[in-house]
Amino acid sequence: MRRLSLVFFERYHKATMADKKDPKEKKEQKDQRHPQYTKDRQIVNELLAQSTPNNRHYADLARLIIRYQEFIGARDIQADLLKVLANWQLTTEVLFAKTREIHAIGRVYMSQEEGQDDWA
């Protein structure tokens, strides 16, 4: 199961990037810094430390995978997201199904401290 999720994510990432850019353009592109990098790095570090994830952890992982799947840069975060999937023995399909169930129950992202959702 671990191998399947890693292979899927890597193939999907490579395929989407290959479809969007000309090979000459790929060489010229430089890694970018995501505006939410610092905040996301902290969340990813928390996810890496979790051995028994809760609903918020699942939702955060799914959200960050979506945020960074086509992003050019933050390769450390992308690699760590794959590690979290592997550590929790999940595939992206299972994770996304689980988070759809979680979101059907109620709001997961409402932060008590900030009073806003983090989908930027």
Share of the chain above pLDDT 90, in %: 50
Quote the DSSP letter at residue 68. H
Mean pLDDT to the nearest integer, 82-103: 95
C-alpha distances (whole Å) from 24 to each of 27, 74, 90 are 6, 22, 36
Question: Using CA of residue 75, residue 66, residue 44, residue 32, what is the dihedral sign?
Answer: positive
Determine, yes or no, domain membership for 30.
Answer: no
pLDDT at 115 over 50: no
Residue 74 main-chain phi, psi, to 5 deg: 50, 45
What is the rounded distance in angstroms from the CA atom of residue 107 to the CA atom of residue 18?
A: 35
Asked if residue 119 is part of any domain, the answer here is: no
Instruction: Enter the pTM of the model.
Output: 0.68
pLDDT at 114: 45
What are the C-alpha distances in Å from 89 to residues 16, 35, 53?
24, 29, 11
Assess if residue 81 is contained within a domain.
yes
| Between 6 and 38, the higher pLDDT residue | 38
List % helix, strand, coil for the chain (3-state, nearest 5): 65, 0, 30
Q: Which residue has the higher pLDDT, 34 or 120?
A: 34
Tokens 């051995």 belong to 51
Give me the number of domains the chain comprises.
Answer: 1
Is the backbone of residue 31 left (phi > 0), alpha (psi -120 to 50) or beta?
beta
Domain residue limits at 54:
2-24+40-105
Average pLDDT over residues 18-29: 54
Residues 48 and 57 sit within 8 Å (Cβ to Cβ): no
Does the pLDDT of residue 98 top 60, yes or no?
yes
Identify whether 34 is part of a domain: no
Q: Is the pLDDT of residue 108 over 90?
A: no
User: Is the predicted pLDDT of residue 8 greater than 70, yes or no?
Assistant: no
Is residue 71 in a domain?
A: yes
Using one digit for the tens of pLDDT, what is the confidence trace for 69-89?
Answer: 988 988 999 999 999 999 999
